[in-house]
């Protein structure tokens, strides 16, 4: 892993945290924060809440990067800088509308059948934002505290202990569990009340509400049409744009779970700058809803088929263009690469997965956006290599990944994969247009006095 780069990123983020804490709510629309949210704001930037006193929530969830990571590293280093995590860090924006996890959750579109949905973390194992906030604090690969007591003592000896007691009671520190839970409640209050966690300040927001500056360019408009096209990209099938259960719209998620077959982020990828260390163990698999971190849906063995295995939560797409690592394992590093993966995962699996050395002939160059730089014609490609074979029947084959037509009932969706060598569903122009549309979902958009006349997302 690129250890030195990660350390520099961590140090750089911490250097500006105090200033960011003072200005993160500098918004004329921002109501005064409650006492609990004020505690949460101070705690969010408090490095003393980590085992090494060198890492805060903001180290990985930087407000300057839509409360996501400030770099393109697949998985971040924890407070113990000798260890890296196992999942890519998500943005914390637009989380307040997420319902608690349910195995049989209704889909907000009101049409699609019930399925697993909701919850926090990539596997939904936290029921609330308060519960979610507690998990990194005790994770040895993240903030690396040895116990709840260590966290509570850090708060109690800190500069905002008095405010903490004002918010949660003079006797709050008398009970470690009570104080620890109150810390999670404070961070949830911050994420709920502070408008910087849900600013709705993108070009898309101006567009959908017909505000000045919200006119999409021809390329962005074509991308929007593609986003909603059920026969081409089918993006909105999972990244739902309508009103959710709490009345908010445009979150670009339906809170469900999908098994997409993202390539394993390991050393089988040539020149991989940051493979996940846990993946060095060939017996280790991160299977989302069925483990290893969520335990209530685990199969009896990795070789026992389980419909939950390989499923990860559909992310909010707002600010997706600001990210540098994609999918649960951070294996891809650009939007263009992600869309091309959807387009060619099954038609050209040799672009994404390692192959056995049984091909013949001269290695052929793959596109620049492929994970595998070359392929040998006829070689056996190890598709879906980040899941045990018994769990690969869960892989999603809806459009654009598959044909969306009947067929092989061993697949969870009841649909067929696209045949290797068949034409991908999207053209290069459509991919470019779709990426342009995804760019309008970024917050902080400032309309220019004159519309742009040149650039890849204009005409």
Which CATH number fits the domain that encloses residue 439? 1.10.760.10
Q: What's the pLDDT score for residue 404?
A: 67
Domain range for 212 is: 199-459
Give yes or no for residue 211 having a pLDDT over 90: yes
Q: Which residues of 433-453 are buried (b: 16+ CB within 10 A; e: fewer)?
A: bbbbbbbbbbbebeeeeeeee
| Statement: residue 453 has pLDDT above 90 | no
66-86, pLDDT tens digit by residue? 999 999 999 999 999 999 999
**Per-residue pLDDT, 110:** 86
| The pLDDT of residue 7 is above 50 | no
Instruction: Please count the structural domains in the chain.
Output: 2
State whether 345 and 403 are in the same domain: yes
- pLDDT confidence of residue 301: 86
Here the tokens at position 339 are 């869309």
Query: What's the pLDDT score for residue 249?
Result: 83
> Residues 395, 442: one domain?
yes
pLDDT in tens, 158-169: 999 999 999 999
Residue 108 lies in a domain: no
In this prediction the pTM is 0.92
Same domain, 313 and 179: no
Do 384 and 272 fall within a single domain? yes
Which of 175, 197, 219 is where one domain is finished? 197
pLDDT, tens only, 374-404: 999 999 999 999 999 999 999 999 999 988 6
Please report which confidence band the pLDDT of residue 410 belongs to, taking 50, 70 and 90 as the band edges: very low
157 & 211 share domain: no
Give the separation between CA 449 and CA 350, rounded to whole angstroms: 46
- The model's pLDDT over 106-160, given as tens digits with 9 standing for 90+, comes to 999 888 899 999 999 999 999 999 999 999 999 999 999 999 999 999 999 999 9
> Residues 6 or more apart from 21 whose CB is under 8 A from it?
41, 42, 44, 45, 58
* Whether 264 and 183 share a structural domain: no
- Asked if residue 373 has pLDDT above 80, the reply is yes
Q: Is the pLDDT of residue 412 over 80?
A: no
Q: Which of 197, 220, 241 is the last residue of a domain?
A: 197
- pLDDT category of residue 293 using cuts at 50, 70 and 90: very high
Q: Are residues 208 and 150 in the same domain?
A: no
Q: Is residue 94 assigned to a domain?
A: no
Portion of the chain with pLDDT greater than 70, in percent: 92
Q: Which of 210-219, 259-268, 347-356, 444-453 is predicted least confidently?
A: 444-453
Distance between CA atoms of 419 and 119, rounded to whole angstroms? 35
Asked, for residue 216, whether it belongs to a domain, the answer is yes
Q: pLDDT tens digits, residue range 172-201?
A: 999 999 999 999 999 999 999 999 999 999
b vs e for 324-363, b when ≥16 Cβ sit within 10 Å of the residue's Cβ?
A: bbbbbbbbbbbbbbbbbbbbbbbbbbbbbbbbeeebeeee
């Amino acid at each position: 892993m690129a250890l030195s780069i990660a350390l520099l990123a961590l140090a750089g983020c911490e250097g500006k945290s105090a200033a960011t804490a003072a200005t993160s709510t500098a918004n004329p629309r921002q109501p005064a924060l409650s006492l609990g949210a004020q505690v949460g704001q101070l705690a969010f930037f408090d490095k003393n809440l980590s085992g090494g006193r060198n890492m805060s929530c903001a180290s990985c969830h930087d407000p300057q990067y839509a409360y996501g990571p400030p770099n393109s590293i697949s998985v971040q280093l924890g407070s113990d800088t000798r260890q890296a995590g196992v999942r890519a860090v998500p943005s914390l924006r637009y989380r307040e509308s997420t319902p608690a996890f349910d195995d049989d959750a209704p889909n907000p579109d009101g049409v699609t059948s019930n399925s697993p949905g909701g919850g926090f973390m990539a596997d939904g194992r936290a029921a609330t934002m308060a519960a979610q906030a507690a998990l990194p604090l005790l994770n040895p690969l993240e903030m690396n505290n040895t116990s709840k007591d260590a966290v509570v003592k850090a708060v109690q000896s800190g500069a905002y202990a008095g405010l903490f007691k004002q918010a949660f009671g003079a006797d709050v520190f008398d009970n470690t569990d009570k104080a620890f839970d109150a810390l999670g409640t404070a961070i949830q209050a911050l994420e709920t009340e502070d408008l910087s966690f849900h600013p709705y300040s993108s070009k898309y927001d101006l567009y959908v509400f017909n505000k000045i500056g919200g006119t999409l360019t021809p390329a962005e408009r074509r991308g929007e049409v593609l986003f909603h096209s059920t026969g081409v990209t089918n993006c909105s099938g999972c990244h739902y744009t309508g009103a959710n259960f709490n009345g908010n719209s445009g979150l670009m998620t339906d809170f469900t779970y999908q098994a997409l077959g993202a390539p394993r982020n390991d050393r089988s990828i040539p020149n991989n700058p940051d493979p996940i260390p846990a993946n060095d163990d060939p017996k280790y698999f991160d299977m989302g809803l069925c483990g290893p971190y969520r335990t209530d849906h685990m199969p009896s063995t990795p070789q026992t088929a389980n419909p939950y295995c390989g499923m990860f939560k559909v992310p909010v797409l707002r600010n997706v263009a600001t990210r540098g690592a994609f999918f649960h394992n951070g294996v891809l590093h650009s939007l263009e690469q992600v869309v091309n993966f959807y387009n060619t995962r099954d038609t050209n699996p040799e672009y994404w997965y390692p192959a056995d050395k049984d091909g013949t002939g001269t290695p052929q160059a793959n596109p620049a956006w492929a994970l595998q730089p070359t392929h040998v014609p006829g070689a056996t490609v190890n598709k879906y290599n980040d899941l045990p074979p018994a769990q690969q029947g869960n892989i999603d084959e809806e459009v654009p990944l598959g044909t969306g037509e009947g067929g092989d009932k061993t697949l969870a969706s009841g649909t067929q994969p696209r045949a290797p060598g068949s034409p991908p569903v999207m053209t290069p122009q459509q991919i470019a247009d779709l990426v342009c549309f995804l760019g309008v979902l970024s917050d902080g958009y400032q309309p220019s006095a004159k519309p742009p006349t040149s650039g890849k997302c204009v005409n």
